[in-house]
């Protein structure tokens, strides 16, 4: 408010004749450039975010590309009824949910643990050097990382060579079903764990050092300090990141799985996103795959809603 009166002082006479005009009209007249500036941005979000979101209604249609969204016939819940009787859907949903669950249980705590370990490194130079190495894979594309994974796990690759030293037979890791999910989880930890520590390390560096000093006075060792000071201080950050994660629970990342998947591992590794790509984009089953995508978003939202309620009981939620 102080600002408004100040600006009108600088431009006396602009509004003198129309004192009853609502303030936002005056604001638009004065700052119309701000509205012009943001116009392309707003158009971008409408066209590429909101229109596709609204376009999800084709899940309730028998969408035909020639007729378009306005003329395609409505079919109610038929597409949903179809996917729930469809064997492939359960397969893909099971794969997605299992991989998502492993990623959450193993992948989510990994950067927290790593950040706590980094925190115990007292030599700054060593810490920075180690961090630089850990951050690097984050910047590589999944195509590159997928290529590396295939190469390292190939029959003549690094891992099998090491097995050879101990007299073990080589294993074709990428062609065997039982290894696929662990490989997905481990490769995503390998790529993102270092980068994930940054936010936790920042939160740790924000902890008041006098808390540790007081703990030392009371005779707490490093372990007790970690358990009773560092971890509780990290809790709000962990909670927020967990909530942001759970909303996208079933979205595993197309790039990763697509680049690790081969027809030999479809039965365990085909996830919603790769399935939707193949039968939606490539085979033109637009309505059915949109229904699957919508189902995925609804699950994500329900999970987010449940966990947000739980979070609010212990502390702060997202909303």
Q: Which is nearer to another protein, 181 or 273 (CB)?
A: 273
Measure the CA–CA gap between 97 and 313, rounded to whole angstroms. 26
Q: Which C-beta is closer to another protein: that of 137 or that of 181?
A: 137
Residue linked to tokens 């930890």: 189
CB 86, min distance to another protein, A: 17
- CB nearer to another protein: pick between 28 and 105: 28
The answer to whether the beta carbons of residues 119 and 205 sit under 8 Å apart is no
CB 247 within 8 A of CB 300: yes
Asked if residue 34 binds another protein (CB under 8 A), the reply is yes
82 binds another protein (CB under 8 A): no
What is the C-alpha to C-alpha distance for residues 257 and 271, in angstroms, rounded to an integer?
8
CA 216 vs. chain centroid, Å, equals: 38
Q: What is the CA angle 218-116-104, rounded to 5?
A: 130
Nearest-approach distance from CB 215 to another protein, in angstroms: 12
Angstrom distance (rounded) from CA 232 to CA 230: 6
SS3 of residue 166 by DSSP: coil
Residues 211-240 that bind another protein (CB under 8 A): 216, 221-223, 240
CA distances from 261 to 3, 48, 153, 181, 288 (A): 58, 28, 14, 10, 22
Does 304 sit near another protein (CB under 8 A)?
A: yes
Per rule CB under 8 A, is residue 78 in the interface with another protein?
no
Alpha carbon 52 to chain centroid distance?
19
Residue 37 within binding range of another protein, rule CB under 8 A: yes
Interacting positions 132-191 with another protein (CB under 8 A): 132-137, 139-144, 146-148, 150-152, 154, 156-158, 160-161, 164, 190
**Span interacting with another protein, options 32-40, 80-88, 97-105, 177-185, rule CB under 8 A:** 32-40
- Binding another protein by CB under 8 A: which of 80, 82, 108, 195? 195
Residues touching another protein, count (CB under 8 A): 94
Burial bucket for residue 205 (CB in 10 Å: 0-12, 13-18, 19+): exposed
x/- mask, another protein, residues 247-276, rule CB under 8 A, reads: xx--x--xx--xx-------------x--x
């Amino acid at each position: 408010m102080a600002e408004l009166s100040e600006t009108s002082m600088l431009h006396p006479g602009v509004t003198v004749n129309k004192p009853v005009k609502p303030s936002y009209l005056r604001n638009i007249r004065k700052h119309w450039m701000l509205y012009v500036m943001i116009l392309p941005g707003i158009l971008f979000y409408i066209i590429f975010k909101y229109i596709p979101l609204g376009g999800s209604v084709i899940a309730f249609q028998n969408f035909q590309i020639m007729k378009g969204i306005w003329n395609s016939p409505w079919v109610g819940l038929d597409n949903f009824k179809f996917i729930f009787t469809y064997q492939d859907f359960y397969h893909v949903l099971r794969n997605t949910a299992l991989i998502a669950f492993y990623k959450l249980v193993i992948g989510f705590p990994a950067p927290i643990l790593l950040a706590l370990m980094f925190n115990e490194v007292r030599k700054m130079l060593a810490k920075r050097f180690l961090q630089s190495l850990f951050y690097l894979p984050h910047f590589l594309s999944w195509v590159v990382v997928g290529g590396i994974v295939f190469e390292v796990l190939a029959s003549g690759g690094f891992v099998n060579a090491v097995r050879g030293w101990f007299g073990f037979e080589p294993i074709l890791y990428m062609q065997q079903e039982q290894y696929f999910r662990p490989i997905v989880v481990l490769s995503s930890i390998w790529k993102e764990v270092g980068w994930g520590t940054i936010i936790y390390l920042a939160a740790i560096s924000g902890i008041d050092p006098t808390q540790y000093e007081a703990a030392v006075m009371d005779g707490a060792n490093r372990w007790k300090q970690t358990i009773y000071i560092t971890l509780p201080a990290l809790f709000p950050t962990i909670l927020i990141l967990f909530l942001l994660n759970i909303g996208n629970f079933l979205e595993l990342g197309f790039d990763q799985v697509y680049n690790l998947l081969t027809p030999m591992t479809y039965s365990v590794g085909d996830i919603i996103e790769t399935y939707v790509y193949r039968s939606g984009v490539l085979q033109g089953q637009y309505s059915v795959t949109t229904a699957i995508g919508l189902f995925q978003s609804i699950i994500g939202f329900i999970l987010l809603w449940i966990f947000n309620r739980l979070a609010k009981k212990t502390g702060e939620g997202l909303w």
